C-alpha cells in the first residue's frame, strides 16, 4: 500500500532563509508525487507535481522539488522564504494517471519568523 511520511510536524524559518521540507513515500512502482499548500481556513493549492522525466520539478511561488528514487524522497525546497509562505504543506502520492486516489502525509506546518 502507498504511504507518505512527512517527518517534520513544525518548521520555523527566518524570512529570507532557505527552506527544505522532507517527504518520503512508499510505493512499489513509479509514483506520481504532489506538493500542496494549505493556508489557514483555505483549501489546498497545488504547488508542483512529478509524473516522469526530469527529476527536478519547478512549481509556483518559487518552489521546486527533487525526486530521488534511491531515497524514496520528494523534498520541497525554496531558496528564500517570504512571510506569506507560512502555511501547512502536504506531500501526496498517487499511483497512476487519471484516477488519483491520493494518499497524503500528515503535513508540515511552516512558521516564518521576521
The residues binding another protein (CB under 8 A) are: 4, 6, 32, 34, 36, 41-46, 49, 51, 90, 92, 97-107
Min separation Cβ 95 and another protein, Å: 11
Least Å distance, CB 3 to another protein, is 11
Q: Residue 98: left if φ>0, alpha if ψ -120 to 50, beta else—which one?
A: left
* C-beta closer to another protein: residue 81 or 92: 92
Residue among 46 and 56 whose Cβ is closer to another protein: 46
Cβ-Cβ contacts under 8 Å for 35 (sequence gap 6 or more)? 23, 46, 47, 48, 49, 59, 63, 65, 74, 76, 89, 90, 91, 92
CB 57 → another protein: shortest distance, Å? 13
Q: How many CB atoms lie within 10 A of CB 66?
A: 16
Amino acid at each position: 500500500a502507498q504511504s507518505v511520511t512527512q517527518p517534520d510536524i513544525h518548521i520555523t524559518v527566518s524570512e529570507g532563509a532557505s527552506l527544505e521540507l522532507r517527504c518520503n513515500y512508499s510505493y512499489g512502482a513509479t509514483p506520481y508525487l504532489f506538493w500542496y499548500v494549505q493556508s489557514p481556513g483555505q483549501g489546498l493549492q497545488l504547488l508542483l507535481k512529478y509524473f516522469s522525466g526530469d527529476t527536478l520539478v519547478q512549481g509556483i511561488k518559487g518552489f521546486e522539488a527533487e525526486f530521488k528514487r534511491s531515497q524514496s524522497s520528494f523534498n520541497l525546497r525554496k531558496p528564500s522564504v517570504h512571510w506569506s509562505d507560512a502555511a501547512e504543506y502536504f506531500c501526496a502520492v498517487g499511483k497512476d494517471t487519471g484516477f488519483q486516489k491520493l494518499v497524503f502525509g500528515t503535513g508540515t506546518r511552516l512558521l516564518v519568523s521576521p
